[in-house]
Amino acid sequence: VPVATKPDPLQPNRAHVIRVQRLPLEINLFQLRFEDEELNLSFDFKPGQFLMLSVIGVGEAPFAIVSSPSRRGLIEIAVRQSGRVTTALHNLKENALIGIRGPYGNGYPIERMRRSDVLLLSEGPWFGALRSLRWYILDNRKDFGQVTLVATADDAKDLPFGDELSWLGDREDITCRVCRPAARDAEGQDHMARLIAGLRQTKFVAQGTYAVLAGEPAHFPPLWDYLLERGVSKDKILFSLQRKMRCGIGKCGHCSIGYKYTCLDGPVFSYWDAQNLPEVI
């Protein structure tokens, strides 16, 4: 009697790198495609989710998806060369075979966010981290309330995806403000101070608004304080954490923060979670 075997959740699907584009800060944008054409069309995810990508013979690592599920069939990740897998990935040529499993993680609560106003707040190079959500919102613009983007940048052209800021600035359905920090500041304090100053100059109604932050978590507290003071609710202040993920499915324990797993309970967390998980920053 044939025994039905369950699909192995750790088994990657065969895929290829189909395009590589160089971005500022030595980041490469990889466009990926599954070998199975049906999977390309059915692959769905939420902004904020990640996938596990394996380079054959080297290893596997988690990467946030920076394209939007509203562009079906397009899967993109932005990778900075920083370790074994990312270096191997940077050395791959177009058409190279890779493995992909996922998507994993909770992603942004886009269903709950519908009809709400949204603040998209990013510090310097983290602008790219909100690309999936930003595209998703713009592709489904009617489903959301007022959308305000505040980003800090020494120079937008030096940011990964910084070129998007110019066309975003031309759109009438999104308020877009780019703030230049007064000085380069390793602590990031100036970026946060500028972000808050930029936010002060924009009109937003705090009640019911989702504030999505992208930056170095250690820099968040002044921004959190400002948002809370303005009346944004604790469960609507969101940010994403990248933590030592290995299996992606809650099995290895590598990504734990207190009693939570980044791969299952995150990577998107709220200020409310941060209060209960002091290791977040």
Which spans of this chain sit near ligand FES (rule: CB under 6 A)? 245-248, 250-255, 261, 263
CB nearer to ligand FES: give 138 or 252: 252
CB of 267 to ligand FES, least distance (A): 10
Measured from the Cβ of residue 39, the count of other Cβ atoms closer than 10 Å reads: 14
CB of 104 to ligand FES, least distance (A): 8
CB of 246 to ligand FES, least distance (A): 5
CB nearer to ligand FES: give 53 or 159: 53
What's the Cα-to-Cα distance from 23 to each of 26, 159, 163, 213, rounded to whole Å?
A: 6, 8, 10, 22
CB nearer to ligand FES: give 221 or 253: 253
CB nearer to ligand FES: give 171 or 251: 251
Measured between alpha carbons, how far is 208 from 213 in angstroms, rounded to an integer? 16
SS3 assignment for 102-162: EEECCCCCHHHHCCCCEEEEECHHHHHHHHHHHHHHHHCHHHCCCEEEEEECCCHHHCCCC
Looking at residue 178, its amino acid is V
Report residue 252 as tokens. Answer: 């290895």
Query: Which residue in this structure is represented by tokens 């060369």?
Result: 81
CB of 75 to ligand FES, least distance (A): 20
CB of 79 to ligand FES, least distance (A): 18
CB nearer to ligand FES: give 148 or 240: 240
Q: Do 48 and 94 meet the contact criterion of CB atoms below 8 Å apart?
A: no
